[in-house]
Structure 1
Amino acid sequence: MLPQKKISILVVDDELSIRESLSGWLQQDGYEVATAADGIAAWAMIQENRYDIMLIDVKMPRMDGLSLLKKLRENDHTEAVVMMTAYGSIRDAVESMRLGAYDYLLKPFELEELSLTIEKLAGIQTLAMESMILRDRKPKVNHLDNLVGQSPPMQRLFDTIRDVAQSDATVLITGETGVGKELVARAIHVHSPRCYGAFIAINCGAFTEHLLESELFGHERGAFTDAKFAKKGRLELANAGTLFLDEVGDLSMKMQIDLLRVLETHEFTRVGGTEPLHSDFRVIAATHRDLQEAIREKAFRQDLFYRLNVVHLHVPPLRERREDIPLLAQYFLRRYATETNKKIDAIHPAAMEALLHYSWPGNVRELENAVERAVVVGKSRQIKLSDLPFTTPTGESLETGGLSLLEMERQHIARILALHSGNISSAAKVLGINRTTLYQKIKKYGLTP
């Protein structure tokens, strides 16, 4: 169990009645609340204490809300900020969002609306906090070599990798493009008795049949026009180690027959050669294709499938393990901040929410690219929403405005409800909120369960 830490909130407003009202309401919701009468008083308190969320009024004497927000960002503070004002204007809203505010509430607002905003923001802060605690306390649980994940599917995968690594059984790894199938294969090799041998990888879909034959089996000098020297193939190089056949589903029928023979005997002949060679290698194969469907379509040999599918490991897509997104994002942030020597150590809550709600068709590889790009273009100590390069599922770019965060949330809730046939309990569990909150959001967005 992770330690339960209350979310702390600082309410900054020049009206005493509003400070007392908001403080009492938020304390009933279970938050720790402090108050300040203006920007200068708030700034002094921030120097002594850390707050997770700040509610800041725009119009205040001495130092107004926008000035305080600007001062926070200039000094690399990463608190989540919600702006409040009774003098709402598009200009103030745009300026506060540009400076990194999470949301903008127009007075008078319903206290229930405030609760929903704070609850959503607190959830994001808690996820980030838990990810850092888990990362620091249980690195062996959440990391297996370069594999990262704290979700139940990844925990089961880690356990299976450790078990499978101790044998020489052939392994078939399935999963969508970008989920990290090669990382799984490397982890099996590293934890196996063959770890002192070579890990030899080849992408079966990256070569023509003729070139793949030469790459796998090697060739003798003069075997073909460009064969000026003899060359060892991947099968020879993998002796005493592991041979990783990526995208094995793309093999031609001829190469499937040749590979089946090699897997049965571990003997082969170089292209243009006559002497049979033997190699002691372990095979791990991977594919994003449905090989059972390929067998039905006569595009993949059933006997080869059985030879490869001794142990089957499936790597889940990122959209099915969203609880891993904060952990992965922080992992990639640390890596690329170190590589680029940039002082970026946090992800803005609005950016984290976008990462959590995005569908990730490119899986972990796309998330890694998004974080790397954000580190490269980022100008502050935190990744902002505007630093992210990907587009929403409708094709609109977050980088150029695209959908509002509210619209992203509405679409995400609608999609989850549809996937669970309107079952409120199931949808609420997937969304990570309680049934009451989900009912409120359904009513807020005019959705039909």
Structure 2
Amino acid sequence: MNKVLIVDASSSDLRIMTGLLTKAGYDPVTAEDFDAAKEEVAKLPPGAVVITAMKFTRGTAQELINWQKREGYKFPVIAIVENLNDLDTIEVLQDHGAVAVVQRRAVDKQLVETVAKYIQDDDSTQSQDKPLIPRPSKEFREIEREVNMIGASNANVIIFGESGMGKEHIARAIYRHSGRTDKPLTMLEAGGAALVGRHNPTSEQGEMYNRIHGYFQDAAGGTIIIKNIHLLNFDKQSVLLHILSTEHPDVRVICTAEPELLEMVSEKTFRPTLFFNLREVDITVPPLRKSVEDIQPIAEYFLKEMASQQDDAEKRLDASAVKALRNHLWPGNIRELKNVIRLAAANVEGTLITASDLPISHSSPETKDSLKLRNPKMERQMIADAMAQTEGNITQAARLLGIGRTTLTYKIKQYGLK
């Protein structure tokens, strides 16, 4: 389960927040003073969130955030405040780096929802043998076939896909299907402080080279998974390219990347030679909105998983909930879907989840391939896709397409669509 650290001197409020988060399926840990908070932060896995009072024993939210920055920790911090208009509140948000604030008197209404926005899956605690979430779409069946085929090779792989599509799970599946499972597996985050290995000051090589090279030494014969390779800065790209192209280490490299990596290669902001060293083969994971038939099975998988973790009755989706899930574009993909299902299951009374129980946000950023009409040559197919996705509901299809209901009705007649 996802870890959440709560730092607060109030033992009663600690109990309340712990209860709320546990009920929602999280794994909270607590600290009441600054030293204990630092010890707990150091233990947190990737994807965790820190909740802190503005003031606690021998420390403040500002001091804790500043300490995290100095030490290279990048856990999102949610501050518990007394008054939203307080100057300290504004300062901790704007200058010190808290990602959000929750008023203490509104903890029961806002805390779980706020945590869900910033927490990420702790894949480091996942079992290495945990299979991919079963999905019926032909796109995902093709991915499973590619995983089996590529896993048996030693080729370097890049897994392309939008944020929240489970690219790291696919990377781990490739590792499990490889012949290197008896050798080390190293996980690195290209955009974070984690890509800083050990340094030998007596070496003639530069510090950055020594640190990155150390990972390959430790993973000899095994596999390195580099998450978000598109976030690797230019200097580290150069070092990684040198290691791969001149030293040819016996290490397989599996990378995950968002689609923008291809644009970066074209614009030469990512080294093309490094790209082709890393992308001997590739897998592309389509966004959830492109495989609508997977939405309900994935949601039901999470409901079953939550019931098992909490030893509770499994919640069910009614027809209105299924329809609402299928009609949403899911810019946050599977991660967003998981958070919505987690919140709905935690707060619904009884075992049946309806559309009104789903905390689906409609303030999400527009997806890059939004259905909004831009190219007249593609209009007919886009309208047909929108109508299919909304099961013929003209109002909902018009919203997906970014046009008015009257305009859509006219175009349906114009193109002879039913």
TM-score normalised according to structure 2 size: 0.56
- CA positional deviation for 1:441: 10
Q: Which residue of 2 aligns with 1:258?
A: 239
For the residues of structure 2 that align with 1:392 and 1:147, how far apart are their CA atoms?
26
- CA positional deviation for 1:432: 8.1
Q: Which residue of 2 aligns with 1:197?
A: 183
Q: Which residue of 1 aligns with 2:230?
A: 249
Amino acid of the structure 2 residue aligned with 1:366 = E
Amino acid of the structure 2 residue aligned with 1:202 = L
| Structure 1, 355-364 or 340-349: larger mean CA deviation | 340-349
For the residues of structure 1 that align with 2:331 and 2:199, how far apart are their CA atoms?
39
CA distance change for structure 1 residues 232 and 356 in 2, over 3 Å: closer, same or farther?
same
CA distance change for structure 1 residues 168 and 252 in 2, over 3 Å: closer, same or farther?
same
Q: Quick check: 1:358–1:393 contact (8 Å CA) kept in 2?
A: no
- CA positional deviation for 1:346: 1.1
For the residues of structure 2 that align with 1:147 and 1:290, how far apart are their CA atoms?
25
For the residues of structure 1 that align with 2:253 and 2:397, how far apart are their CA atoms?
50
For the residues of structure 2 that align with 1:168 and 1:362, how far apart are their CA atoms?
32
- CA positional deviation for 1:415: 7.7
Report the aligned-residue RMSD: 3.7
Amino acid of the structure 1 residue aligned with 2:221 = A
Asked if residue 383 in structure 1 is aligned to residue 371 in structure 2, the reply is no
Asked if residue 160 in structure 1 is aligned to residue 146 in structure 2, the reply is yes
Fraction of identical pairs, as percent: 29
Amino acid of the structure 1 residue aligned with 2:229 = V
Q: Which residue of 2 aligns with 1:116?
A: none
For the residues of structure 2 that align with 1:171 and 1:427, how far apart are their CA atoms?
32
- 1:35-46 alignment runs, 5 A limit: none
Which of 274, 277, 283 pairs up with 1:313? 283
Task: Give ranges in structure 2 of 5+ residues lacking alignment.
Answer: 1-128, 204-210, 399-404, 413-418
Amino acid of the structure 1 residue aligned with 2:233 = S
CA distance change for structure 1 residues 248 and 354 in 2, over 3 Å: closer, same or farther?
same
CA distance change for structure 1 residues 420 and 284 in 2, over 3 Å: closer, same or farther?
same
Give CA-to-partner distance per residue, 1:145-199, whole Å, 9 cap, x none. Answer: 1243211111111111100011000101111111111011001001111122232
SS in 1 for 2:188: strand
Q: Which residue of 2 aligns with 1:354?
A: 324
Q: Quick check: 1:416–1:427 contact (8 Å CA) kept in 2?
A: no
CA distance change for structure 1 residues 169 and 356 in 2, over 3 Å: closer, same or farther?
same
For the residues of structure 2 that align with 1:220 and 1:231, how far apart are their CA atoms?
11
For the residues of structure 2 that align with 1:247 and 1:262, how far apart are their CA atoms?
19
| Structure 1, 286-295 or 161-170: larger mean CA deviation | 286-295
Amino acid of the structure 2 residue aligned with 1:247 = N
SS in 1 for 2:187: strand
Q: Quick check: 1:219–1:232 contact (8 Å CA) kept in 2?
A: no
Amino acid of the structure 2 residue aligned with 1:323 = E
- CA positional deviation for 1:355: 0.8
Q: Quick check: 2:213–2:243 contact (8 Å CA) kept in 1?
A: no
Q: Which residue of 2 aligns with 1:331?
A: 301
SS in 2 for 1:158: helix
| Structure 1, 177-186 or 291-300: larger mean CA deviation | 291-300
Amino acid of the structure 2 residue aligned with 1:365 = R
For the residues of structure 2 that align with 1:258 and 1:394, how far apart are their CA atoms?
37
Q: Quick check: 2:387–2:397 contact (8 Å CA) kept in 1?
A: no
For the residues of structure 2 that align with 1:237 and 1:387, how far apart are their CA atoms?
48
Asked if residue 235 in structure 1 is aligned to residue 216 in structure 2, the reply is yes
Which of 159, 169, 173 pairs up with 1:187? 173
- 1:129-148 alignment runs, 5 A limit: 145-148=131-134
CA distance change for structure 1 residues 297 and 420 in 2, over 3 Å: closer, same or farther?
closer
| Structure 1, 371-380 or 383-392: larger mean CA deviation | 383-392
Q: Quick check: 1:420–1:427 contact (8 Å CA) kept in 2?
A: no
- Please tell me whether Structure 1 or Structure 2 has the larger radius of gyration of its CA atoms: 1
SS in 2 for 1:240: coil
Which of 191, 195, 199 pairs up with 1:219? 199
Q: Which residue of 2 aligns with 1:280?
A: 250
Amino acid of the structure 1 residue aligned with 2:220 = N
TM-score normalised according to structure 1 size: 0.52
Q: Quick check: 1:266–1:280 contact (8 Å CA) kept in 2?
A: no
Q: Quick check: 1:171–1:312 contact (8 Å CA) kept in 2?
A: yes
Q: Which residue of 1 aligns with 2:159?
A: 173
For the residues of structure 1 that align with 2:332 and 2:212, how far apart are their CA atoms?
36
For the residues of structure 2 that align with 1:237 and 1:348, how far apart are their CA atoms?
50
Which of 379, 392, 404 pairs up with 1:421? 379
CA distance change for structure 1 residues 383 and 415 in 2, over 3 Å: closer, same or farther?
farther
For the residues of structure 1 that align with 2:388 and 2:257, how far apart are their CA atoms?
28
SS in 2 for 1:148: coil
For the residues of structure 2 that align with 1:303 and 1:246, how far apart are their CA atoms?
19
For the residues of structure 1 that align with 2:307 and 2:139, how far apart are their CA atoms?
28
Which of 265, 268, 271 pairs up with 1:298? 268
For the residues of structure 2 that align with 1:413 and 1:244, how far apart are their CA atoms?
34
Give CA-to-partner distance per residue, 1:293-326, whole Å, 9 cap, x none. Answer: 2133331111111111110111100000000011
- CA positional deviation for 1:428: 7.7
Q: Number of aligned pairs?
A: 265
Q: Quick check: 1:241–1:282 contact (8 Å CA) kept in 2?
A: yes
Q: Which residue of 2 aligns with 1:151?
A: 137
Q: Quick check: 1:340–1:376 contact (8 Å CA) kept in 2?
A: no
Q: Quick check: 1:325–1:356 contact (8 Å CA) kept in 2?
A: yes
